[in-house]
Structures are given as structure tokens and as C-alpha cells.
Structure 1
């Protein structure tokens, strides 16, 4: 056996753990002969998260892999490797006999994480491992009763923390392992654990679990009790009123609405009435920023006619020209220029003194607040109002007409974008494999879903923008990072301890090299849409903060336009090509 391969096996034997980054174990493999790299690829398949698509792609190698991993389970002593090997064998062989072996070693891994659950993120690792065991047990119908007994032993073990029990409850909340009668004691246990814990996050999660379990067991009394306690807990999120911070009363309003709803469900009319009175008193402290806007419209019909004329002129273009206009804008989409935004905002601030008496704060959908400058607040507020009243109605109507006239569709967008920078092939390494891709392949199904939902909107059918926004948002950042790299910018930074990390999106948008590709209008639009200075869609999507009601057509259109605006890199590529003879 090659020395480098022996070193690799030794490395994974001593270092591999299920809930740790395994990609670094597959580096420095240059000295491994080509014939042995196949084995490394097998290991890569087994030790990383495998899904149905991966399994389908590698199905032709199943017999060789089964033989290989049967040998590996005889030689390794690492319980993390053994659990993954047997789980992988179970998936590729469809041999149910591997299920019990997979559970056996996952149980040993579970015990390992349980023994160190008070360290760092080990409770989360314990939870994920338990979830895997439950999924195998449920799918292959094995060890169900013993697993239920084990879970109950954990839940009633007085030496374990409320935190780890919360994760256990969340693992069994949505699975069908327990019958309704077996859940009868859980609502009371969740409430008891919540009462005895000081962590507000854990308390709230436990009370929500109590609500879920009491609903499943039709325990009306505990259902009401848990909701009343949630109302009491929500009280602790209220902020003391401060005349120097106009945001606080608005933040408190959301908490009061939650409190009232909890007490209403609990049937506690006294507390509900008191909270309603407190809400009305809180509203008396609301203050608003008044931005004076005077637009003389002498002839509204004439304005409408001009807008309609502009829209109709779009339709005289070919599909390809329409798509390129959507990409490059150049003033055709009714976006206000940044220079105009900045000038107007400064003029308004010069005429007002209100900004001298408060610090502007933004509250996100999760009730977190950030402080921004008066200039930023004024600029983005102006931009937001203009978008809502002018740009978005214009663009939505434009998309509607071009789609109805069959000037714009997903296949036509795909054909056009593949002729641009989005169609240029790139090559990356994944383990020992070389993968070819282009930027369009990163966004294809997100764009397709955008057109599906927009067509539903045109037909006045129900729409669901969740996939469009959740899928395209991280792809915007992914492509932007590659554009920064291609422009010579750095996408990583070095921390004080010498480690490296990815630069956040806010920093990427300030890198000098991309200002040769995107102008201030583009960068302002990107910041407004994705960063914390306004909509913050990137953060909300990345942290899973959005609820179904937070997804809208307007946000989807903005994300869609930002994706297309990235295509301005095509212009830069064309310049470089004409100058240097290469892209």
C-alpha cells in the first residue's frame, strides 16, 4: 500500500468525527497514485453528507464500494467512521441488515457527544446524531421500543440539562415514533423544565414544545397554561421607553401584540385586557419621521400615457434586447440614480433639524436593532419609498407585459444568459474530482421558479416566493465572490490568530476592484437589497429568519434584478477581450 494512502487512513482513523469539517482530511493527496485515488473518492462519498442525487450518480460503482467498505469496517476502530460506513452501506446496498449496525455505532457516537455535551457545540452534535438514529429506526422499523425507552431515560435524567432535553424534545416533536398517549407527560415536563431554567431562549423553546405536545394530547389545561407562560415570558422582551429613541415603542408594539395573542389563547381575560391597555399606552409614545415630498402632477393622465408609451416601446425590442436591458438597466427601469438620492437627502437634512434629536435604528424581522448613520437612513428610506411607488410598479408591469407577449420566458432568458458571462465554463476541484460549471447552472432552477410564480401572479393564482428568494439570494453572493476574485480582489481576510475567513458581503461591496464593473447605482441597489442598511435579505435567508409571510413578489423581483445586474461583468469581459485577446 502506498505510504501516502497509509498516512490518509491513519489521519482519518485518529481525526475523523461525524460533526466536524471533514474536507481538510482530503487535502495534500498529491502523492497518492491514480489507482488509489478511487478509494479516496469512496471515502469522500461516505464521510460527507450523502443525498439521493449523489447516490444515483454513483450507483454504477455500488458493487465495488460495497466490497471496499465491507473490508473497511473490519479494519477501523473509529466509531465515527464505522457509523458512517455502515450508514453508507445501508444506503447503497438496500440491505436492511446494515441498519442495526449503523444504529449500533451511531449509539456509541451519541454516547460520546453526551459525555462532552457541555462543551462548545456538542449538544447540537448530540442532537443531530440522535436525529439520524431516529430516522433510521423509523424508516427500517427497528429498535423503536428500545429507542423510545432510551429517550425517556434521557428526558427524566435529573443530571442532564434543560438545554439538551430541549434538543431531544425537538427531535421527537415532528416524528411519529410516539403515540399520542405516550406523549401525555411531556407538556408538564416541558413546563417544569422551563420554570427551572434561566436561559430565556431555552425557556421559550420549551414552552412552545409544551404547546405542541399538549395540542397533540388534547390537554387543554396545559395548552392554556403554556400559552399564558409564553405571554409572561414575552413581557421580559419589552424595553423601557426612551424619548431619545423613537424605535423602542414600535419594537414594543410587536411584543405587546404577541402577549395579547398568548393570553387570548390561554383564556386569561384579565391579563389580555391589561396587555391591551398597555399596548394603547405604548402607542402614545410613537413618533414618526416626516419626510416632506412635493411632486406637482398637473396632468396625471399625461403621466400615465407617458409611462404606458415607455412600456410599449420595450415591447418593440427583441427578446434578447429586453433581457439585456433588464441586466444592464442604463436608466431604462426607473431606478433613481444614486447621485440624485444623495443630493436630495442632503437637501432635506439641511431643511430639517429632526435628525439632531434621535439616533436612527433599524429593526429586523427578528426584532433585532442596528444603528446606522443619518445619511444612510435618509438615502435608503428615500430609495425604498421610490422603489415602492415608482420602480417596482413599473418593473412588475413591464415583466407582466413582456411575459404575456411571449417576449420574455425562462427558456429565452436561459438562451440569452448562456451567451454572456453566465455561460462561461469554469472548473473546480471537489476532492479528487474536477467539476465543470457555469454561473447559470448556479441559478437555473431559482430563475425557473421565479417565472412559474410570476405567471401565477399574472393569472391571479396563489403564489409562493419562498424557494425563489431562498435559492437565489445565496447564489447572488456566490457569483459576486467569484466576480471579486476575477477582478483581483480578496474574498478572504486573515484574523488575528492567523486563521482565514470569508469577507462578509458588506466588505465585498466596498472592494475597489469591482467598482470598475459596477457603478454606485448598482452597489447602492445591492446594499439596499441584501445588507443590514435596509432589507437585509441575505442575513434573513442565511439565518432562516423568514416566515412564509415575509416572502413577497416585490422582494423576489428585487433579488431577480440583482442577479441579472451581476451580468454587467460581461461588459468588462468584452473590454478585456478586445484589449488583451482573452476573457
Structure 2
């Protein structure tokens, strides 16, 4: 296909009978035509038509083909002649496929006019009625659905031919022009987007979907059951029967999966959710037991990756050599106080994650991704995303902290006693929070006394491990358990000292301690503690990361989960939270 001039391009559009939405070659050949011409006007019109070809309209809205940050292509701003050219093309074009598109683009523009929407509706209707394609062609079924959704939303928005649009679709239910999945998808779209509830229409869709439940297979059965649940709710019917059948469908899928696959977990959870909605107690119990049994066989092997790019490897090695040299110089030249200060002040913690930072590869669209906690339960608050914060902690932060401790212990500058002395003299932990009450009894906390056992056990164990070149997991249990729980106490003490809320009153008049997460989100805390430290604390202690508080408090950690690396991260957190001077205050 080659365009010798714009007229040949216009002729191509008028003769195009393909229902497909995307034609990537057309834009390419328009660019060739424009680039090969010296006429400024022709170049401009070719650029307009390029934008037109690249423009996508889905569910009644403009969807840019390319987006990166604030950059989007194409946008309506590219048409810089007040849409005069597009208006001309909308009037002249006859082919309904393109007449609908020209008019719909104008309807989405600042130059929108009621007539544009009417012309687009009539053109969409003509396009769909005259379309002809094989019912098993999934791509063209999808194109049909996209055009119909645009038509339906437009007809609803201006209340023009809305009844005719719905009537046209209902006639398709008895025929074979579109496949069953396309019928399901359009029915669901109508039910979810119709402006005025239509019980007669919903009953018709209900009867059709229900008739397919006994004969539909696999994914199509799942789709129709989901549709029946939605329609039942619209018609104020009980959807319990369909929830139960949907649960049964999820259980049936287990036969197709290896029992060690994590996808088994996925189907059990979905089945359990449906049985709960159906209030089927017997199947809830059966599925819960089966789920717990399945956890024992789920295979969650790590999949390592190797960097082979020599330039990247060289850069990483140079970075690490510079880091190690810097740490060795600091440890050799500086005092214990300065080394602990380095762990507090140096910017080796990653920046907090933002929504933009957690990226999801397009590859994940092709696979099922799940995030498991330590008990092999699915974490529903997280999807299968790449977490740059976690990667940074494991590949950079921890290595730096380990190097500081190892070199510092070799030099005799990081020891149990030097750390206790630092905490006592240079952090607020050394403040005497104890007092004598009216009964002459000592109240409050001596935090150094409470922290000492954990740190002492840790240093005894890590020194033994260094000498024997081992990692004795059991030896770190007491140290980690103690320090994790003490950290929450320290955070609450810190909150009280700066007059941040630590207790909230419930509606029934009872008091409740504010959760760990809410303590860290208090404005008085976030105004004082740097964002990097807050993110680090959340990573260590909440479900946003290692969730140490929950895992320790509920005994979810097994012996092999305890190690020196966790304790080193905890000590850095301890140093960073303690990096303040506080006046002693007591609640009255």
C-alpha cells in the first residue's frame, strides 16, 4: 500500500471494509507521503491524518497509544486549526467506519456539537449492522464490541437512538453473528453502564445467561456466572446459587493444575470467597481445610537472575569497591560515635516507594501473579509487582550495613559496650523515663535496661558466627524477638514525648491503642522523622515489607527465618529512631 497523494488515501478509507480498529501501516504510509513532499500544506494535512489514524476511542473516551509521564500521543492539542480540517472530513467521509471516528473525535474536542454525536451514532449503527465476519474471529469480535460500547455510551449520553441501540443488540442474542464471549461482554457492559435501570431488559439477559450455564465451558462458564451475579443484584434476586456455582467452578480448575503450583492457592481462595458469599457453611469448611493442606505443598522457589552485561557488571563492581573503600576509611579513621552517626545520617536507605515507582511489567499481563506472606497466604494488598524498595534494601542497603558492622567489629569499634554507650549518651533512650509514684513505687521505663539483653545476645552470637564462619539461626531468636517488640514500645514512648496521639476513643466509649501503622502516619511524627526513615520503619515492621511485628508477635517465624541480617537492619532502625533529644514528659 502506497499513497501517491491525499486523494489516494481518501479512496483507501472509503473502500476499507475491514472491521479491525487498528491499522498500523496507514499512519506509516501517510508519514512517507508527507516527508516526501515539499508542499507545506500537504505535510500539515498528512500530519493531521496521521494523528487521526493513531487516535483510539475506547468506551467512549480517547485512549493515547503512547504514554510516558506527562507525555501522551496523540492528543487533541495536535489539531491546531480549531478542527476545521476534521470538521470537513467528518462531513465528506461516507464510509461509516471512519465517519463515526471523525465525528466522535470532534465530540471529544472543545468544538463538540450535538450533531457530531448524532452523526457518530448513526455511523456506528450502520457499521455494525453491515459488518460481516467469522464468528470465531476473536479479534474482529473484539472490534465489534469496542464499536458497540462507543455507540452505546454516546446514545446514552445524548439520549439519541438509545432504545434502538439496545434493541439491535438483543436481536443478536438469537443469532451467530458474534461469539458467546462477545455477547457476554456486551451484556455486562450494558448492565453496568445503562443510565436508567431496565428490569425487562435485565430479565432477558438473565434468562439468556442462565440458559448457557449448563452448556458453557471453562472461562465462558465463569463469565456467565459472574454476569448472573451482577444481574441478580440489579433485579434484587438472591445471587447465592450463582456464587456457589462459581465456587464450584474454581474448585474444578484445580484438576488442571500441578498440586505444587501456587495457582492452586489462587483457586482455593477464590472458591472460599464465593462460598462465603453463598453462605454455604459445609463447603466453606471443606475448602478451608483443603487450603491449609495445600499450603504444605506449594512450591515457592526463588528464581535467580544473572546480569551478563559487562558494562553493568563493571559499573556495579566499581560502585561497590568505592563504597567499601569509603566504609573502611570511615571505620579506620573515625571513632565509634562517628561510625554509629554514619549509620544514622548517611543516605544509603532507598527513597520511599510511590505509585509510579512500583512498576508492573507488561509480561505480567500474560501470567498469574500473586504475593505471599510468610505463612503462604496471599497478600491481597499487593499484586505481582516489582518493588524497587525491596530490591534496593536487599542488594545495596544491607550490604553496606553489613560491611560497616564487619569492618567496625574487626577494628574493635563496634561492640556491645560501644553501642550501649552510644545509646545511653547520644540518643533519647538514655533519658530517665522512670519516676516514683504516690505509693513510693518506681514507674516508667529505663529503656537502656530493656534494650541491653537483646543487644548482648546478638553480639555474643554474631562474634561466634564470625569466628566459626557460620550463621546460627537459633542464636538470633531471643535478640530479634525482643528488639522487634521493644521497638514498638520505643515508638509509643517517642509519640507520647512529642505529644502525638497514642490512644483513640471508640464510639462505645472504650479506649484503644493506635496501631503501629497509624503511629507512623501521625503528622507530628512525619514532621519530625525524615520520610526515608519512616519508609524504612514501615518496611521492617508493617505489611508493606517484612512485617516483623506481626510475624514475631504471632510466632509465624520459623527458626530458619532468624538471622544476623535482620538484626543488623533492626539496629540501624534503633539508631535512627533514637537520633533525637527529648524532654521527659509523663501522662497525667
Normalized per residue, the structure richer in helix is 1
TM-score by length of 2: 0.47
Which protein, 1 or 2, shows the higher relative CO under an 8 Å CA cutoff with sep ≥ 6? 1
Structure having the higher Rg: 2
TM-score by length of 1: 0.47
